[in-house]
Structure 1
């Protein structure tokens, strides 16, 4: 199981927030994290300062060499699919194929309005944008080999989870109540199932406390990745770094999917246990 870190790139000064994000990514790589994710926000929504995540990740790509670079997420319903495909392909080439492109329908109604989109249609528009994006990835220059298999959908609803599986997309979810629907995702996913569970960590929270919460988390047995984010999002760099350095990625079989035993038990009607393979300090 992989361990990732997510930042909403918040703060009072955008330039400083961007520089701090690059430094945070370098620290995450040095600490053994597998992935580093940034969130997109328009017009300072939820204190986020990053409307163009692929631009910032290009800077991160030049400062790192191994950590995978993710968007959690780009609001696909507000993007031009060809422009998104081309920007993503350039970043993927710069990073040596390290991009994990997460998309979502978006919850910011003001952003939908600013981009001339109907917020009520955002889910349908997101699905259409993903289809168009994939079409462009198949023929644009530069080529982005394998990026189609590194697309992720942020959702926690039963319909969204089912749609992500049918489309062969990885699943990003911050909702514990998504667990009952993940057996179907695993059973019907077109391609290798990928489930990233996003969980918040309070400043100063001990690794042991996070480990205990994760052990009891209903999504744990279905997850292939735990993505940690420090709250509040606008916490200073030192607080984010303290979280990064307090955790360590369990590197045993980091890229293998979660055990299939829970899936088999669920399909057979039995109860599921929580084997989990992520190892945190002290586990």
Structure 2
């Protein structure tokens, strides 16, 4: 399973937040993360300071060599798709083909109003803009490295060959697992699912391991994108979270795929003194 890290780029001073985000991306690459994702927020919504993720990722591209660079997500109804295609293509060239372009319909009604858009039309507007964007982007990027961060549009993503970033908890009755199963069934090309999961402050590695391995959506995913919670934590907390997850949790994540996972013994609930004594345990899944 591939592993990514997401930040909402928060803080009182935007310039400092951008510099610290670049350093976090460098740290993520050094720790072996496969991808580094930034969220787009307009006008400081939810404390986010980044309205222009492609600009910041261009700076990240100059400081990194291998890690993939993701947007989770560009609010597509508020973008001019032709202009977005141009900026995306430039960044992808600068980064050596490392861009993972995540798009979404957006949840900030105030931003829709400020951009002169009807928030209630955001899903229809997303599909319309997406179809234009897909025609303009390089084929390899459009078909293999585009994602839809969605809780309700898996059918549109499947029909257009996009990967799906799912951030909804897969609780009983939530519809997450049936949606992912339907996506896998009807996806054009290679089905790609990334789960976005929070790492709540105060949760031990043992509890995080158990929560992840018990997540019924995990077997359907090929990538796990984690983020520190609350999203407003300092850069030092982000760095510590990345380090602890990479060292203590990642070894417990098996190879995912659309299968019914076999029961896995519960991991102990470690404290800081016994965490280094943990050893990875296999995750056994039957063949598809």
> TM range, normalised to the smaller chain?
0.7 to 0.9
Q: State how far apart, in whole Å, the 2-side matches of 1:233 and 1:72 are.
A: 14
Q: Tell me which residue corresponds to 2:80.
A: 80
Could you say what secondary structure the match of 1:73 adopts? Answer: strand
Provide, for residues 214-240 of structure 1, a one-character-per-residue CA deviation record: whole Å limited to 9, x for no partner: 010011010111110101111111100
Could you say what secondary structure the match of 2:246 adopts? Answer: coil
Change beyond 3 A, Cα 1:234–1:90: same
- Contact 2:184 / 2:191 at 8 angstroms: preserved in 1? yes
Change beyond 3 A, Cα 1:275–1:72: farther
Shift, 1:248, TM fit: 2.0
Change beyond 3 A, Cα 1:110–1:151: same
Change beyond 3 A, Cα 1:68–1:275: farther
Q: State how far apart, in whole Å, the 2-side matches of 1:90 and 1:109 are.
A: 30
Could you say what secondary structure the match of 2:151 adopts? Answer: coil
Q: Tell me which residue corresponds to 1:266.
A: none
Could you say what secondary structure the match of 2:85 adopts? Answer: helix
Change beyond 3 A, Cα 1:164–1:274: farther
Equivalent residue pairs, number: 260
- Contact 1:29 / 1:67 at 8 angstroms: preserved in 2? yes
Q: State how far apart, in whole Å, the 2-side matches of 1:66 and 1:56 are.
A: 17
Shift, 1:24, TM fit: 0.5
Change beyond 3 A, Cα 1:275–1:224: farther
From 141, 148, 157, the counterpart of 1:147? 141
Q: CA RMSD in A?
A: 2.2
Change beyond 3 A, Cα 1:114–1:133: same
Shift, 1:205, TM fit: 3.0
Is 1:273 matched up with 2:267? no
Q: Unaligned stretches of 5+ in structure 2? A: 265-274, 281-288
Change beyond 3 A, Cα 1:193–1:274: farther
Provide, for residues 83-105 of structure 1, a one-character-per-residue CA deviation record: whole Å limited to 9, x for no partner: 10010101100100000000000
Q: Tell me which residue corresponds to 1:207.
A: 205
Provide, for residues 40-95 of structure 1, a one-character-per-residue CA deviation record: whole Å limited to 9, x for no partner: 00000000000000000000001110000000000000000011001010110010
Q: Tell me which residue corresponds to 2:283.
A: none
Q: Unaligned stretches of 5+ in structure 1? A: 138-143, 263-271
Q: State how far apart, in whole Å, the 1-side matches of 2:262 and 2:36 are.
A: 25
Q: State how far apart, in whole Å, the 2-side matches of 1:63 and 1:251 are.
A: 27
Q: State how far apart, in whole Å, the 2-side matches of 1:58 and 1:89 are.
A: 11
Provide, for residues 211-267 of structure 1, a one-character-per-residue CA deviation record: whole Å limited to 9, x for no partner: 11001001101011111010111111110000111122859999x8x434x2xxxxx
Shift, 1:5, TM fit: 0.3
Change beyond 3 A, Cα 1:243–1:47: same
Provide, for residues 154-178 of structure 1, a one-character-per-residue CA deviation record: whole Å limited to 9, x for no partner: 1112xx1121111111001111231
Q: TM-score, normalised by structure 1?
A: 0.87
- Contact 2:209 / 2:252 at 8 angstroms: preserved in 1? no
Could you say what secondary structure the match of 1:199 adopts? Answer: strand
Q: Following superposition of structure 1 onto structure 2, how do residues 95-110 of structure 1 map, counting pairs within 5 Å?
A: 95-110=95-110
